[in-house]
Amino acid sequence: MHSRFRIEFLKCDLNAYCYWRQTLHIASMKKSLLTSALAVTLLVSACGPNNNSSSAGSSGGGSTCASRAYENIGGPISLVDHTGAPVTQEDYKGKETLVYFGFTNCPDVCPFTLSVVGAAMDLLPADVEKPRTLLISVDPEQDTPEALAQYVESNGFPDELIGLTGTPEAIKAAADEFKTSYKRIDAPDSTMGYTMDHLSILYLMDKDWKLKTFFTSEAAPKDVAGCITELADN
């Protein structure tokens, strides 16, 4: 299956809500799977406003890195990591963390985004601590700790990549905290019999597990690295 994802940042300021729109066009490479393109548009509202005025915009007049520290994005999680150990957000405090929702059988946007993160980590200055990266699976049926343990070792992915899974209820609760969405789509001719449609947003959490900013799938490694550097210790 071939998929094409496009995410647009629609609106975000101090006195309004943030909206992301992801348009997912899925075109089957097998006529029996899908005979025409399927377009799915998801509108997700992220509750605002941002009460952290010091990080609401860029740190410099000409900067392209905007910190969007919205208080209602991000929150408690209770999942299992790729070693089988139960974890919560408390395990990830004390160091900045990139959070991404995806799945191991994702054909394009997930490995692409994680490769962008891996490349971005290599661009960070020596005096900037590299954030860890969490991949929270939206497909617990396939993504066991064992499957995630193999996946996180993929070439080009960030060195400190941790896979998280859990019950469907626990994953849904985590997704709700991050105001993100995902949906199972039947694909009867595929190996699994289904695939997952999901928003592709990369969240940067600070050392206290509060949102610092986010990136869409259009961000290049230099954009991610530049933003992390600019917001370091803020």
Give the annotated binding-site residues for Cu cation: 106, 110, 198
CA distances from 179 to 10, 75, 82, 153, 212 (A): 15, 10, 24, 28, 15
The annotation places the binding site at 106, 110, 198
User: Using CA atoms, how far apart are residues 77 and 127, in angstroms rounded to an integer?
Assistant: 30
Give the number of other Cβ atoms within 10 Å of residue 190's Cβ.
Answer: 15
Residue 69 three-state SS: coil
How far the first Cα of the chain sits from its last, in Å, is: 42
In eight-state DSSP terms, residue 158 is -
Task: Cite the beta strand spans of 16-121 per DSSP E.
Answer: 18-27, 38-46, 78-81, 86-88, 97-102
